[in-house]
Amino acid sequence: MPTTSTTDPGRLVVFVVCACTLVAQSMVAAINLMIPQLSASQLNLNAGQLVWAVDAYVIVFAGLLIPAGALGDRYGRRRALLAGLGLFALGAAASAVATGPVLLIAGRAGSGAGAALIMPATMSILVQLAGPEGRSRALASWTLALGLGGLAGNVGGGLIAQFLPWQALFWSMLPLAAVLAYAVIRTVPDSPRHPATTDGRGSLLLISGLAAVLYGIIEGPSQGWAAGRVLTGFASGALLISLFTAHALRAAHPLVDPRLFRNRRLRSAALGSAASFFGLFALFYVNSQYLQYVKGYSAALTGLAIVPLTVGMALAPKAAVRLQARYGPRPLIGGGLLLIGVGLLCVSTADSGTPYPLYAGYLLVLSCGMGFSAPALAFGVVSELPPGQAGLGAGLNTAAREIGAALGVAAVGTALAAQSGGHPTDPTEFVPAMALGLRLVALILLAAATAATIGYRPDPASAGPARSGA
C-alpha cells in the first residue's frame, strides 16, 4: 500500500478520490436529460413514476448521507468508498435491465445508496490526508469535482440522449465504477477508524424522516401543496424527525447530537450550503427546458450549453483558497452566495431573444459564486467537528446540499406549475413562469445568505476556534 504524507495526499490519490465524487454527482444531473426518452420508452411510465425514476436517487442519497458518513468513520472511509462504488454499480445494472417502473426506480434507489457512501467518504479521505494545513485546498479540489460532475452529467447525458438508447447511461456506470474501485484499492490508504456510532434506531428515524419530508417536497409541485399525500409526507417527516431528536438527546451515543447545532458557525455553514444548492438546482431544473423549449436546442447542444456554469467552479476554488488563508471563510461565504443570487436574477431576464453569449455570462456569474463559497462552506461544517467525526461532518454538509437542491427544484417547479397554465413547453407560458420562479428562488437565497453570513462568526457556545485535523 502506498504511503501518503499527512499534509499532501498526492496528486494521484486526489485524482482518484475526486473522480469517484464526479461520477456519483454526474448521475444527479444526467438523468434529467433522459426524461424524454424514458417517457417515450416501453417502460410505460406514468407521470408520477417518471418523477420517482428521477428522484429516487436523490431521496435515498440525501436520506442516507449522515448514517453513511458515520459508517465510514467507524469502519474505515476507504471501505465505505469501495462499498459505495459496488452499490452504485449494482443499482445502475438493475436500472439498465429494467422492463418496468418498479425495477428502474429500485435501481435508482440502489445507486443513490451507493452515492451516499461515496460522497462523505471522499470528502473525509481528502481532509484526513491533507491535514490541517491543506484542508482548504482539499475541500477546493472536492468542490471542483462536484462542479465537473455536474458538467459530465449534463454533457454526457445530453450526448447519450441524442445518439444512444437510455440504457446506455446506466451501462456506462459499470466499467467506470470497476475502474475506480481498482484505482481506490491501489492508491488510497486505509484511514484510521474512530469509535463513531451507527445508532440503528436513530439512523432509521432520521432516514425515514428525511425521506418523508423529501417526498412532500417532490410531490408538492405536481400534486398541490394541500394534497393529502403531500401533507401526510410533511407531517410524518416532522413527527419522525422530532422522535429522532428526542432519541438523540437521550441516547448515550447518538448518530448526531442535536446539541451540535448550538454551534452558530456550523449551523450557518450548513444553512449556506443548503442555500447554494437551492439556487443551483433551481437553475438546473429550468435550464434544460429553457434551452430546448425556448431556444430550440437539441439534447446534446443543451448539455454543452451549460459548460460555462462549470468554469467558475473549476477556477474560483483555487483563488478561494488563497483568499480564505488571508481573510477567513466568512467573506467568501457572503460574497459567493451573493453572486449566486445575482446570477439567478440575471438568468430570470432571459427570453427567446437573449443571445447565448449573454446567457453564458449569467451562468458564469453564478458559477463563480459557487466556486468561491462552496469550499468555505464545507470548511465551516467539517472544521467545527472533532477529527473522528470527519465523515459525519461530510455527511451533514452533503445532506444540507441535497435537501437544499430538492427545495430549489420544488420552489421553481411550483412557480412553473402555477404560472405556465399547464403548458410548460409553450415558450410564451414558460418564459414568464421561469422568470417568476427564479426571482423567488433568488430572494429566498439572498435572505438565507444574509443569515448565514451574519451567523458565521465565533460562537460563545462553541469550544473555542475551529478544530483541526481529520
Between CA 95 and CA 166 the distance in angstroms is 10
Q: Decide if pLDDT at 464 tops 60.
A: no
Average pLDDT over residues 252-271: 84
- Percent of the chain surpassing pLDDT 90: 33
SS3 content of the chain, % helix, strand, coil (to 5): 80, 0, 20
Q: Which amino acid is at 263?
A: N
Q: Decide if pLDDT at 468 tops 70.
A: no
Q: How far is CA 263 from CA 204, 215, 250, 267, 464, in A?
A: 25, 29, 19, 6, 10
Between CA 256 and CA 397 the distance in angstroms is 13
Between CA 200 and CA 206 the distance in angstroms is 10
> Residue 388: its pLDDT value, please?
65
Between CA 81 and CA 110 the distance in angstroms is 15
The residue ranking higher by pLDDT, 239 or 52, is: 239
> Residue 424: its pLDDT value, please?
62
* 205, three cell numbers: 428515524
Q: Assess contact for 57 and 111: CB atoms under 8 A.
A: yes
Name all contacts of 320-325 with Cβ < 8 Å and 24+ positions apart: 320/136, 320/140, 320/371, 320/372, 320/375, 320/376, 321/136, 321/137, 321/140, 321/375, 323/372, 324/136, 324/375, 324/376, 324/379, 325/136
Of 338, 282, 308, 310, the closest CA to residue 451 belongs to 338
Most confident of 325-329, 432-436, 454-458: 432-436
Of 323, 415, 406, 307, the closest CA to residue 361 belongs to 307
Q: Decide if pLDDT at 213 tops 50.
A: yes
Q: Which of 215, 239, 254 is the last residue of a domain?
A: 254
Question: 286 and 230, same structural domain?
Answer: no
Question: 89 and 22, same structural domain?
Answer: yes
Question: 170 and 76, same structural domain?
Answer: yes
Enclosing domain of residue 48: 11-185+255-455
* Structural domain includes residue 461: no
The residue ranking higher by pLDDT, 22 or 398, is: 22
Q: What is the pLDDT of residues 351-381, one digit of tens each?
A: 999 999 999 999 999 999 998 998 888 888 8
- Strand ranges, E, within 25-149: none
> Residue 4: its pLDDT value, please?
41
On average, the pLDDT of the chain sits at: 84
Question: 226 and 173, same structural domain?
Answer: no
Between CA 201 and CA 206 the distance in angstroms is 9
Q: Decide if pLDDT at 462 tops 70.
A: no
Between CA 105 and CA 94 the distance in angstroms is 9
Name the band, by pLDDT with cuts 50, 70 and 90, for residue 6: very low
Question: 343 and 330, same structural domain?
Answer: yes
* Structural domain includes residue 312: yes
Between CA 158 and CA 32 the distance in angstroms is 9
Cell 437510455 found at:
166
* Structural domain includes residue 41: yes
* Structural domain includes residue 196: no
Q: Assess contact for 60 and 95: CB atoms under 8 A.
A: no
Count: domains in the chain: 2
Q: What is the pLDDT of residues 137-178, one digit of tens each?
A: 777 788 778 778 877 888 888 889 888 999 999 999 999 999
77-86, 167-176, 196-205, 444-453: least confident range? 196-205
* Structural domain includes residue 288: yes
Name the band, by pLDDT with cuts 50, 70 and 90, for residue 9: low
Q: Decide if pLDDT at 72 tops 50.
A: yes
Cell 451507527 found at:
198
Question: 299 and 243, same structural domain?
Answer: no
Report the predicted TM-score, pTM, of the whole model to 2 decimal places: 0.78
Q: Decide if pLDDT at 86 tops 70.
A: yes
Average pLDDT over residues 300-314: 84
